[in-house]
Amino acid sequence: MLYKVSLKISFAALDKSIQYMLFASLLFAAMNIIVKFIPNIPVAQIVFMRSLVMFIMVVGMLKKRRLNPWGNRKGLLLMRGFFGSLGIAFFFYTLQNMPLASAVTVHYLTPIFTALIAFIFAGERLKPVQWFFFLICFVGVVLIKGYDPRVEWGSILIGVLGTIAAASAYNIISYLKGTEHHLVIMFYFPSVTIPLVLIYIFITGDWVWGSAMEWLALSAIGMLTYFAQYFLTRSYQDGRVNKVSIISYFGIFYALGFGWLFFGEWYNLQALGGLALVVLGVVMNLLVKDSK
């Protein structure tokens, strides 16, 4: 009993942004598990149902709070929705085609690409040691691929493209924190995703009328996404991007444990070393960037 009280007090003492990110990481981990449990459902269909459920829930919250859903900086909000759509679609593809922890680790290269995008397009300076950390991450990805026959270069490339899109979306969220309500930012995500995915499904016919359990799983993905996006958006709005990004790496430990527990996924020492190098490179880059 005393242990539970102590744990509750310790958690309450954490910064709000850290609490939000811990909740978001756990909810995203649960969503990832469900995605892997329905490999027969096309990625586009998963993205559509996820976005539809999220859209309904966000609209309900906007009406309850009587908020204008269109926001102030519509161009940036639309870009956030577009990049978020690409990021989640590519990530779901890797979840269905790679081991859980490998897919999540590649996805968590986001801060590396955030720094590179800022360097290329905004002229943000990088410390020389950051390039060394980038190299560590690259070596880690090579180890994951080289020592895990379940991972293909095509899947890694799609995962990296999704990570670049996610990095762009997260930067826009941070940029909008002074002008937009978090529910407005969340509203634009499914609002952009739904028409894009419907066009894709109409052209390709990529749709399956699955079982009742699969439809239930799709609905659960949407609900988990809503709450995960809520806590994620609040975390990036209330805290510093570098700090909360580091906390998000708890998701890799979730993925390792859940991948072994639910899917019997195992890793040899070399592949585990690759995962560790990616985490080390990203976290050290964030710490160096955050230091004065």
Q: What is the pLDDT of residues 155-203, one digit of tens each?
A: 889 999 999 998 888 778 777 877 888 889 889 999 999 999 999 999 9
How far does the chain reach from its first CA to its final CA, in angstroms?
42
Instruction: Say if residue 228 is exposed, middle or buried (CB neighbours under 10 Å; 0-12, 13-18, 19+).
Output: buried
DSSP 134-183: HHHHHHHHHHHHHT-TT--HHHHHHHHHHHHHHHHHHHHHHHHTTTS-HH
| CA distance linking residue 228 with residue 58, whole number of Å | 12
Domain ranges of the chain: 17-290
How crowded is residue 67: how many other Cβ atoms within 10 Å of its Cβ?
A: 14
| CA distance linking residue 83 with residue 248, whole number of Å | 19
**Candidate from 54-68, 84-98, 141-155, 256-270 with smallest mean pLDDT:** 141-155
Q: From 273, 291, 289, 290, select the one nearest 136 (Cα to Cα).
A: 273
pTM equals 0.79
**pLDDT reported for residue 258:** 84
Give the residue, 173 or 41, on which the prediction is more confident: 41
Q: What is the pLDDT of residues 14-30, one digit of tens each?
A: 577 778 888 888 898 89
| CA distance linking residue 207 with residue 179, whole number of Å | 38
Tokens of residue 149, six digits: 């026959």
